[in-house]
A and B are shown apart, each in its own frame.
Chain A
Amino acid sequence: MIRILVVIIHIAFLYIIFRIGTWIQEALHLFVPGSVIGLLLLFLLLLTGIVKVNWIKEGTEQLIKHLPLVFIPVTVGIMDYFSLFHGKGILLVIIVLLSTILVKLSSGFTSQYLMKGREREHE
């Protein structure tokens, strides 16, 4: 029971940081989502030691473990957009796959190139 309470308090803390992120976004008229600003903010607070890991650990672990649960409601919304994938819409799938291969290739290649000369890894 206490564990559930801890998880709830931790998530409430994350929620406050999310609201601060959203507030910063609106105040500065940024296009970067408030949630991502909150992510950066929490990362900095953890690095500087202002926020201690045990303030967020349990809640964060649970939330990340069950992340897909959180966005199920939105993905179900696709039911209103099925018509987009008829006929020419199939090309959208091909575009996404093509672009994904390009990302994988360019990012992996760049990082491997820059790894040259570094110590041998244990594969």
Chain B
Amino acid sequence: MNNIVIGVIGILGIVIAYLIGRWLNNKFPSPFTIPILIATVVLVSILLLFGITYETFMIGGKWVNELLGPSVVALAYPLYLQRKLLKKYFLPIFSGVFIGALIGVVSGLLLAKWMNVDEFIVYSLVPKSVTTPVAMNIAESLGGVPPLAAVFVMIAGIGGAVLGPIVFRIFRIHKSVAKGVGLGSASHAIGTSTAMEHSQQAGAVSTVAMVLSAIIVSILTPILVGGLY
């Protein structure tokens, strides 16, 4: 088989796995059935079952990968749509996201350092709170491993969405703006879809928090890694 055929099969496989994930998530909505998790499990199982290497899979995958950069740039649009909300609650949103970003990176760094893990794991773990494409880019520019970063992002997203209501109840975080900031800062898109279930305002704030957090974490991380690690 030549590379074009392998590539086309790869791309088709990615699209089909994604559609299976969406279908399952529509049927059983839960943080554990998010399309990215389902699609990853489906594809990894197939590759392992047939003994296909990741390298072969990426012959097609690298074409889809090219869309990663533009999709990060695209996040400017939801931020722009919510500019009035951002302006109205600028101080509570910006400060909340900033503190969250700072604590997220520092706690990740210190805990990983305390555990004495390899450097490339630390660099992959630190950007876990931000949306996957940005986390992968941050990890890459620090010397981490993008797939590993994506897994930590998934754990932060699913964990944060599941544990969110308990954390909010214990610490009496009840205002919808605050919930939106918390979910968007800690659990990116998965948190945002949970926030939408609380209220429309929480969802909109969470979207703003998610994009702001991506920007702030990508600026803070290189500085903090240089200073603390």
Contacts and interface: CB of A to CB of B under 8 A. Distances in A.
Interface of A: 11, 14-15, 17-19, 21-22, 31-36, 38-43, 46-47, 53, 56-57, 59-61, 63-64, 66-81, 84, 88, 91-93, 95-112, 114-115, 118, 121-123
Contact of B67 (A63, A81, A110, A115): A63
Contact of B121 (A15, A92, A93, A101): A92
Interface of B: 14-15, 17-18, 21, 34-36, 39-40, 43-44, 47-48, 54, 57-58, 61-62, 64-65, 67-80, 83, 89, 91-93, 95-97, 99-101, 103-104, 107-108, 111-112, 115, 117, 121, 125, 128-129, 131-134, 136-138, 140-142, 145-148, 150-152, 154-156, 159-160, 163-164, 167-168, 171, 173-179, 181-183, 185-187, 189, 199, 201, 209, 211, 214-215, 218-219, 221-222
Contacts of B168: 104, 108
Contact of A108 (B83, B129, B178): B178
Nearest to A82: B44
Contact of A107 (B14, B40, B209, B211): B209
Given A75-B147, A95-B111, A106-B103, A68 B34 contact: yes
A78 B44 contact: yes
